[in-house]
Chains A and B, each alone.
Chain A
Amino acid sequence: ETGVTQTPRHLVMGMTNKKSLKCEQHLGHNAMYWYKQSAKKPLELMFVYNFKEQTENNSVPSRFSPECPNSSHLFLHLHTLQPEDSALYLCASSQDRGLAGDEQFFGPGTRLTVL
């Protein structure tokens, strides 16, 4: 699979577990994003990284901890989650050409279920 990949595709975890979601982009982009997609709700932007630096934390609870070791990889570390955190977590990347416009390319998502 090319473009933006995410692992795992499905994850079931208990509220006391610690797990990590991984995203990798093969497009040479410099910006990466985490989104949460829940039923009947809009896509919610969680975090933005640009050249490995976090530029946005959209009031996300601390039980979600992002990590961006380089421009191609993005992680979302999960701990002590709640059942309402169950959702599809989407990663995206973009070239971030500033005022020239910006298409975000999404990964296939990780379907997370918190028991």
Chain B
Amino acid sequence: GENVEQHPSTLSVQEGDSAVIKCTYSDSASNYFPWYKQELGKRPQLIIDIRSNVGEKKDQRIAVTLNKTAKHFSLHITETQPEDSAVYFCAASILTGGGNKLTFGTGTQLKVEL
């Protein structure tokens, strides 16, 4: 089955700096890669996703890049703000219908310091 590894497990940045979180996956058939943000005591929420037919996707301060050959994808947050502090999870799956069976990484605790 799919295995997703995520690094780093914790990341501390100064407000205004950029943050990068990296994930690798094992199943070359995976074609869908979402990123979820989970604030303390709250539910995970999708912040951005990318499909395997696209190499990069951007949404305001958030961007995701995908390298299918190397089987890794990354989350980039620019101009970080204190409200970006949360745990970020990457995930991978094969979209075929019949439900989206996501395999998640172990999460990255991002702390944005003032």
Residues in B whose Cβ lies below 8 Å from that of A98: 95-97
Residues in A whose Cβ lies below 8 Å from that of B6: 42
Asked if B65 is at the interface of the complex by the 8 Å CB criterion, the answer is no
Residues in B whose Cβ lies below 8 Å from that of A94: 99-100
Q: Would B95 and A56 count as touching, CB distance under 8 A?
A: no
Residues in B whose Cβ lies below 8 Å from that of A41: 106
Q: Would A42 and B101 count as touching, CB distance under 8 A?
A: no
Q: Would B96 and A104 count as touching, CB distance under 8 A?
A: no
Query: Which stretch from B13-21, B41-49, B68-76, B78-86 is at the chain A interface?
Result: B41-49
Q: How far is the CA of A96 from the CA of B101 in the complex (A)?
A: 10
Interface residues on chain B, size class: 20 to 34
Name which residue of chain A comes closest to B42, CB basis: A108
CB 8 Å contact bits of A23-59 with B (1 = contact, 0 = none): 0000000010100000011111100111000011010
Q: Would A55 and B102 count as touching, CB distance under 8 A?
A: no
Q: How far is the CA of A58 from the CA of B97 in the complex (A)?
A: 17
Given B95, B101, B103, B107, which contacts A48 in the complex, CB threshold below 8 Å? B101
Q: Would A56 and B43 count as touching, CB distance under 8 A?
A: no
Q: In the complex, how many angstroms separate the beta carbon of B113 from the nearest chain A beta carbon?
A: 23
Known: A56-B101, A99-B51. 18 other contacts (CB 8 A): A42-B89, A42-B104, A43-B102, A44-B104, A45-B101, A45-B103, A48-B99, A48-B100, A49-B99, A50-B97, A55-B99, A94-B100, A96-B97, A98-B96, A99-B95, A102-B93, A104-B34, A107-B43
Q: Please list 12 pairs of residues, one from A and one from B, whose beta carbons are closer than 8 Å in the complex, sorted by A's number.
A: A31-B99, A42-B104, A43-B44, A48-B100, A56-B99, A96-B99, A98-B96, A99-B31, A101-B32, A102-B32, A104-B34, A106-B44
